[in-house]
């Protein structure tokens, strides 16, 4: 069955530090992968997506993610975190068989000044 695993429930980083959020997926075919961000009290917003082509994708707010088929991973990165990046981040894979997104459990990011 398709699934998404985000191994880290909570991550805390200092402002200005680099960030990497991990995501592993289980999917038989070539996956369509997404990262969404949920700011406090808000709905989810798309950060970036991977469908095919270049395995390093750029998104909004300075985020990027790298697709690694050999590791079944799609980790999200940012070189320098800002306090406004504190939020919950969700990785998702599109399940073509069911025409829906399958979400991971989320990683909550805290940013220390």
Partner 1 sequence: EAQVTQNPRYLITVTGKKLTVTCSQNMNHEYMSWYRQDPGLGLRQIYYSMNVEVTDKGDVPEGYKVSRKEKRNFPLILESPSPNQTSLYFCASSLTGGADEAFFGQGTRLTVV
The binding site for partner 1 (CB under 8 A) comprises 4, 6, 9, 32, 36, 41-46, 49, 51, 90, 94-96, 98-101, 103-106
- Counted residue by residue, the chain has a size of 113
Q: What is the closest distance, in whole angstroms, from the C-beta atom of residue 44 to partner 1 in the complex?
A: 4
62 or 96: CB nearest partner 1: 96
18 or 58: CB nearest partner 1: 58
Q: What is the closest distance, in whole angstroms, from the C-beta atom of residue 113 to partner 1 in the complex?
A: 26
Q: What is the closest distance, in whole angstroms, from the C-beta atom of residue 103 to partner 1 in the complex?
A: 4
70 or 98: CB nearest partner 1: 98
Please report where in the chains the tokens 């995501």 appear, as a residue.
23
41 or 113: CB nearest partner 1: 41
Which tokens belong to 2?
A: 């398709």
The C-alpha angle with vertex 73 and arms to 70 and 75, in degrees rounded to 5, equals: 140
Q: What is the closest distance, in whole angstroms, from the C-beta atom of residue 89 to partner 1 in the complex?
A: 11
> In 3D, which of 75, 98, 109, 83 has the Cα closest to residue 1?
98
């Amino acid at each position: 069955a398709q699934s998404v695993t985000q191994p880290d429930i909570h991550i805390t980083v200092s402002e200005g530090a680099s960030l990497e959020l991990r995501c592993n997926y289980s999917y038989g075919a070539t996956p369509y992968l997404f990262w969404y961000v949920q700011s406090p009290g808000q709905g989810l917003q798309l950060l970036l997506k991977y469908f095919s082509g270049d395995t390093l994708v750029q998104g909004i707010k300075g985020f990027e993610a790298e697709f690694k088929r050999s590791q079944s991973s799609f980790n999200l990165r940012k070189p320098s975190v800002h306090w406004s990046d504190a939020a919950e981040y969700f990785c998702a894979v599109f399940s073509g068989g069911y025409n829906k997104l399958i979400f991971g459990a989320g990683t909550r990011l805290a940013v220390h000044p």
